[in-house]
Structure 1
Amino acid sequence: MSSTNQAGRLTPELRTTGFYFTLFMANGAAVIALPLWLNAMGISPGEIGVINAVPMLLMLLVNIVVGRIADRAKDWRSVIVIGSLVAGVIPVGLFFVNEFWGILLVWTLAALPNSAVNPVVDAATMRMTRRRGTDYGTIRAWGTVGYMVINASTGFAIAAFGTAAFVPIFVALSLLRASTALGLPQFRSPEPQATLAESVPVAGKARELLKPWFVLPIFGFAMVFGTHFILNAFAALLWMEQGIPEWVIGPLVALGAFAEASMMFAWKHFSTRFSARHLILLAALVAAARWVAMAFSPPIWLLIPLQLTHAVTFSLGFLASVHFITNWTSEDIAAEAQSYFVVLQQSMSVVALIGFGWLVGLMGPHAYLVAALFALAGGGCVWLSLRMMAPKAQAA
């Protein structure tokens, strides 16, 4: 079969799905093995915290700039490919560093381009699927599937070969992501596409993103998003203190990821029936209820359905937020708007992690009650936005 025929069979959606499948794999390996590798390298717990925190803090400065550059490019693809190639090559430096400052430098330089690319990919894919009448959620779901596959396989690899296996695995997955980026399609339409009725206001400049009715719902979900970082950082520890067996904790974490992917595959059924902000509000309310239940050290039989609510509290809220941003912004600022959303998520995650870490020492699992109030406040922000501006169909 000729290469031309092969290219004809690979639709833009399929090529983008292949990239999403590899997009979070390196992160999936790092979640499992990075702390173990750093510890084996003699890095202290405090230094491990710094290595994880510095890239996140720098991303607050970088993401919006990268989004703005991507919007001004001929197509978003060029920025995604360049960022992926840089993020693929830099991790090779991990083979040559063995102390705190060297690891911090290489890890930060590797993390920045990868994280800066993610909102650009989301914006580009959402615009492409809107134009072609296909489903963004199904494509994005394969990113979570790839993440889960690597979570499981990295655990087995570390058990078999030790922590020294982490760097080769991480570098290989970073290079795999870079190579699949080369196969991405052009995302922009060759001709301008009208996506909303002319009577509906659409933000076409960055300053228009600061209108309260627009900021409130994405800020509200960023608050909800931040509470999920609490789950990642402290749930396993609190479960162990509660007496949950270690062999149960892994499947419980995996159950949340399974629920996340399932909702993404089913996203199209929700997006056509409800407004984006009503779905974000639902995610906030369910998150508040979830954290209240978690505060009282529930037994395993109750933790199972609580983990399944991850489909609503995270996936539904995240997809609805991306959908909302796309509804109310033009292609001229698509990537910048999604990057703005990511910056809010990261900011709230830092606040939540620092605050919850302090509260756990004072309150134990009852600190989840504060997380519930945090999520409820996020829902209040969405409610205020709905009072200020009707959903798109009503506004039109």
Structure 2
Amino acid sequence: MPYLGVFLDGRGFSSSEIGELFALITVARIAGPNLWAVLADKSGRALKVLQLGALLTFCTFCLVLFVDGFWALTLSLALMMMFWTAILPQIEGLTLNCVRGNASRYGRIRLWGSIGYILLTIFTGKMIDMFSSEAPIYVGAIVLFSLFAVTIFLKEPPREKSTDLQQASIWNKINTSVFYTFLLSATLLQLSFGAYYGFFALYVLDLGYSGQATGWLVALGVLAEVVIFLQAGKLITLFGVKWILVTSILLTALRWYLLAVFASNPIILVLSQVLHAFSFGMTHAASMHFIHHYFGNKFQSHGQAIYISVGFGIGGAIGGYGAGYFWQQGQGAELTFTLAAMAAVLSTLSLMFVSSKRM
């Protein structure tokens, strides 16, 4: 994903077309998670849903190797994204069930995804320098096939018995001011990420850094994420979900502002990437902790699906489209990241209306 903008730029797409494509494929994250969650919750076979999603994600992603043009690429990537939404909630659910919601144990397991991300972003950045902007597609295909192969060796956890009372309680959980506020904050946060996901790699390359340097910068952000995951459980227990989110999202706003104004300074650029520990690492850990304890084991797949479809789907789509509109082939980079910072500030303000005891 960090190099999708580079790949599309190499295929001759304009910044507005890249933003539109990001928005369209992100729309697939609105309906997809809920459909898969219903299937997982009703069948009680989350692992089978995960395996099917991984297989179909790999197959549809490989279409990118054979098609060209805006709509053909958009369709193949949108299908890939829709099937991808079957994967993350099931992995999160299986993990949280295994560790019984323990935030410290969850963080220690989740950091391995970050380690893999670090290695692959550095490697892919080097491949771009050595070969071309097509390299991320081949790397992605290999990774997705490997993911499917690994899921074959996982085991299905015991299914929790359901009751009519449990079935009714999920709607009581959804239809609350606390959950609505949490969704609004998540949507604004993901909206702010539009410029970063769509254009950060291009931005850094335009500033004169090499593909490998870009890979190291992305990897640095994830390395910071690894460190924070090791401490996430303790911090959440000590300060609570609300204040962890408030602090982390405020630091995210600072991060986008630094990118808007001072990205040409290598030290500031490095500092902004270190803040990824909070803008993704802590916000993700705190959000997963909230959803797991708010919905319980039975409906955590459904709760995560709503979170992903609204926050990442709607927020991501608006953020991607808006970033493409304002980017203007890099001329609007400062404005785009400034607007992202403002969205993060609004995300923080929305949480101030929620009592710490309710999160």
- Per the TM superposition, whether the score is higher than 0.5 is yes
Q: Aligned match of 2:38 in 54, 60, 68?
A: 68
1:162/1:276 CA distance change after superposition, 3 Å: same
- Highest Rg: 1 or 2? 1
1:90/1:106 contact within 8 Å kept:
yes
Q: Aligned match of 2:349 in 380, 383, 391?
A: 380
2:21/2:74 contact within 8 Å kept:
yes
CA distance in 2, matches of 1:352, 1:48: 12
Q: Does 2:273 align with 1:307?
A: yes
> Shift of residue 317 of structure 1?
0.9
Q: Does 2:336 align with 1:371?
A: no
CA distance in 1, matches of 2:321, 2:139: 30
> Shift of residue 53 of structure 1?
3.6
1:358/1:166 CA distance change after superposition, 3 Å: closer
Partner of 2:256: 291
> Shift of residue 113 of structure 1?
0.9
> Shift of residue 250 of structure 1?
4.1
Partner of 2:89: 119
**Larger CA deviation: 282-291 vs 335-344:** 282-291
Q: Does 2:294 align with 1:328?
A: yes
CA distance in 1, matches of 2:66, 2:255: 44
**Larger CA deviation: 176-185 vs 266-275:** 266-275
Q: Aligned match of 1:233 in 176, 189, 198?
A: 198
Q: Does 2:313 align with 1:346?
A: yes
> Shift of residue 315 of structure 1?
0.9
**What's the TM-score, normalizing by structure 1?**
0.76
Q: Aligned match of 1:337 in 285, 293, 303?
A: 303
Paired amino acid for 1:256: G
Deviation readout 1:172-193 (Å, 9 max, x if unpaired): 322211111111222345678x
1:262/1:235 CA distance change after superposition, 3 Å: same
> Shift of residue 66 of structure 1?
1.1
Partner of 2:99: 129
Gaps of 5+ in 2: none
1:137/1:267 contact within 8 Å kept:
yes
The size of the alignment, in residue pairs, is 351
Partner of 2:110: 140
CA distance in 2, matches of 1:352, 1:164: 25
- Runs of 4+ more than 6 Å apart: 42-46
1:133-172 residue pairs with structure 2 within 5 A? 135-162=105-132, 168-172=138-142
Q: Aligned match of 1:204 in 156, 162, 169?
A: 169
**Larger CA deviation: 354-363 vs 123-132:** 354-363
SS in 1 for 2:33: helix
| Identical counterparts, % of pairs | 20
2:111/2:229 contact within 8 Å kept:
yes
SS in 2 for 1:57: helix
Deviation readout 1:206-241 (Å, 9 max, x if unpaired): 453131112212321331233223223334555566
CA distance in 2, matches of 1:48, 1:360: 10
SS in 1 for 2:261: coil
SS in 2 for 1:318: helix
> Shift of residue 117 of structure 1?
2.0
2:252/2:279 contact within 8 Å kept:
yes
1:293/1:301 CA distance change after superposition, 3 Å: same
Paired amino acid for 2:296: S
2:114/2:225 contact within 8 Å kept:
yes
> Shift of residue 93 of structure 1?
4.2
Paired amino acid for 1:348: G
2:198/2:323 contact within 8 Å kept:
no
Partner of 1:59: 29
1:222/1:161 CA distance change after superposition, 3 Å: same
2:102/2:233 contact within 8 Å kept:
no
CA distance in 2, matches of 1:133, 1:314: 16
**What's the TM-score, normalizing by structure 2?**
0.83
CA distance in 2, matches of 1:114, 1:43: 24
Q: Does 2:204 align with 1:267?
A: no
1:127/1:188 contact within 8 Å kept:
no
Deviation readout 1:262-321 (Å, 9 max, x if unpaired): 222332222322211221111122222333333332522223222211111221011101
SS in 1 for 2:262: coil
Paired amino acid for 2:144: S
Kindly indicate whether structure 1 or structure 2 has the higher relative contact order, using CA contacts under 8 Å at least 6 residues apart.
2
